[in-house]
Amino acid sequence: MSKQDYLRIQKDETNWGTFTRQPREHHRLMSRINKNVILALLTLTSSAFLLFQLYYYKHYLSAKNGAGLSKSKGSQIGFDSIQWRAVKKFIMLTSSQNVPVFLIDPLILELINKNFEQVKNTSHGSASECKFLCVPRDFTAFALQYHLWKNEEGWFRIAENMGFQCLKIESKDPRLDGIDSLSGTEIPLHYICKLAAHAIHLVVFHERSGNYLWHGHLRLKGHIDRKFVPFRKLQFGRYPGAFDRPELQQVTVDGLVLLIPKDPVHFLEEVPHSRFIECRYKEARAFFQQYLDDNTVEAVAFRKSAKELLQLAARTLKKLGVRFWLSSGTCLGWYRQCNIIPYSKDVDLGIFIQDYKSDIISAFHDAGLPLKHKFGKVEDSLELSFQGKDDVKLDIFFFYEETDHMWNGGTQAKTGKKFKYLFPKFTLCWTEFVDMKLHVPCETIEYIEANYGKTWKIPVKTWDWKRSPPNVQPNGIWPVSEWDEVIQLY
């Protein structure tokens, strides 16, 4: 062994690795010691350390991430499960504090729904086996209608005294966004209360104009512990969401009295399609600073009739169960200025052709909106137009889906010429427009740019539906023999 090596060892006393190269100077000194004894000692120490490490490792793991370990536990020991206990404690807390919560957890609602007969027949306390609330999972989601909550203040503390660790996600109130320069107290959006390894996610629903409930985006701010719970596994909060106001019913589940939506199926259907986008109020204000709003008597009157027509159409289609979204000029008005464009003269809606129902025309007729014209047929380029009050027209375009795009058709009455308007594929999101909850394409900007080009921000008053849209394509001509069917004017 070199001198340098030796020095290094001397210097770096704690460098255990180097001991493998420990010199053999001691060899002779130690030769007397029985090697069996040493071996035994070695084994003993090793095992002692091994045990210690195992113990420590386990301790460390369970402290850090008990959820992982407890998963298997829950399904085995029924009412002792960590999930059931957390839910029970949470229900105790909310009922004592008069917090009107109801269960919205999709997993459990699904289970309850499947076994609804059984749930209905079990009275309080008679459950023998924990079937629903003991299912292994990281979260149980509850909801609360904020306006029904009378004593928000003390709640948090009591929860923490009961052993919950709670996180409150707040944000500014989107209902004030549409109004110039208001800033209010922040509103609670989500509470996450952790009891041991299980967490209760309380989604706070806020009432919005248009008779629906809204919940916010769960956005983690800088100081929030990102490891508090596995946030990615949350069922709600990835996006803001909109829901119909559910009626509630009381059920006894696994010995606990809970409120759940009266129509769990409807609620469960809403969940995957609940994503909500807010109108771009800030941009709309900037738009009006540049172009000034039209507040003439005619503009006010048109907006009023267009709003009434839109409300009537929405009511009618909802009754039929037909999905629709804001299209063309109405969509542009929403996106660009959060309002109806006063010179647009009509209301435009889009419907997927697979949602077409033959009684649409009669339903609109009964609602006081007679058919004005019908172009195309269900198989091709269908377009319906209804006559509203005060000369405002309702146009419904039916959208056809291809592998990589969507399109709707147009027909020129005089010549029988067909047109095709192409759109990139899109999905539907909820938004709020003129005091209603309505659908718009989630990929709004792509949709609008397809229809109006990159210059959609600049108001254009003269618009030729056959030439102006950048996404229009000629699509041949209807055979004269079909004209009676595909060009109907009333």
Partner 1 sequence: MVVTPQSSMDDWKPSPLIKPFGARKKRSWYLTWKYKLTNQRALRRFCQELIVERTKEIKASNGRPQELWTGAVLFLLVTVIVNIKLILDTRRAISEASEDPEPERDYDEALGRLEPPRRRGSGPRRVLDVEVYSSRSKVYVAVDGTTVLEDEAREQGRGIHVIVLNQATGHVMAKRVFDTYSPHEDEAMVLFLNMVAPGRVLICTVKDEGSFHLKDTAKALLRSLGSQAGPVLGWRDTWAFVGRKGGPVLGEKHSKSPALSSWGDPVLLKTDVPLSSAEEAECHWADTELNRRRRRFCSKVEGYGSVCSCKDPTPIEFSPDPLPDNKVLNVPVAVIAGNRPNYLYRMLRSLLSAQGVSPQMITVFIDGYYEEPMDVVALFGLRGIQHTPISIKNARVSQHYKASLTATFNLFPEAKFAVVLEEDLDIAVDFFSFLSQSIHLLEEDDSLYCISAWNDQGYEHTAEDPALLYRVETMPGLGWVLRKSLYKEELEPKWPTPEKLWDWDMWMRMPEQRRGRECIIPDVSRSYHFGIVGLNMNGYFHEAYFKKHKFNTVPGVQFRNVDSLKKDAYEVEVHRLLSEAEVLDHSKNPCEDSFLPDTEGHTYVAFIRMEKDDDFTTWTQLAKCLHIWDLDVRGNHRGLWRLFRKKNHFLVVGVPASPYSVKKPPSITPIFLEPPPKEEGAPGAAEQT
Footprint on this chain of partner 1 (rule: CB under 8 A): 13-17, 19-22, 24, 26-27, 29-31, 33, 35-36, 38-39, 41-43, 45-47, 49-50, 52-54, 56-57, 60-61, 64, 147, 149-150, 153-154, 157, 173, 175-176, 178-185, 207-211, 222-223, 225-227, 295, 300, 303-304, 435
Closer of 20 and 403 to partner 1 (Cβ): 20
Closer of 276 and 426 to partner 1 (Cβ): 276
Output the smallest distance, CB 52 to partner 1, in A: 8
Please give the distance of CA 137 from its chain centroid, rounded to a whole number: 19
Output the smallest distance, CB 226 to partner 1, in A: 7
Closer of 60 and 116 to partner 1 (Cβ): 60
Closer of 40 and 378 to partner 1 (Cβ): 40
Closer of 8 and 357 to partner 1 (Cβ): 8
Distances (CA, A) of 101 to 5, 229, 368, 476: 70, 21, 41, 58
Closer of 61 and 458 to partner 1 (Cβ): 61
DSSP 441-490: ESSHHHHHHHHH-TTTTS--S---TTTS-TTEEEEEE--GGGHHHHEEE-
Structure token digits, residue 241: 């969401």
| Burial letters 8-25, b for 16+ CB under 10 A, else e | ebeeeeeeeeeeeeeeee
Output the smallest distance, CB 154 to partner 1, in A: 5
Output the smallest distance, CB 297 to partner 1, in A: 8
Structure token digits, residue 387: 């006559």
Comparing CA positions, the residue from 237, 186, 244, 187 lying closest to residue 213 is 244
Distance CA 464, CA 471 (A): 13
Q: Which helix (H) or strand (E) holds 200?
A: strand 198-208
Cα Rg of the chain, angstroms: 33
Output the smallest distance, CB 53 to partner 1, in A: 5
- Judging by DSSP bridges, how do beta strands 393-401 and 346-352 pair with one another? parallel
Output the smallest distance, CB 46 to partner 1, in A: 5
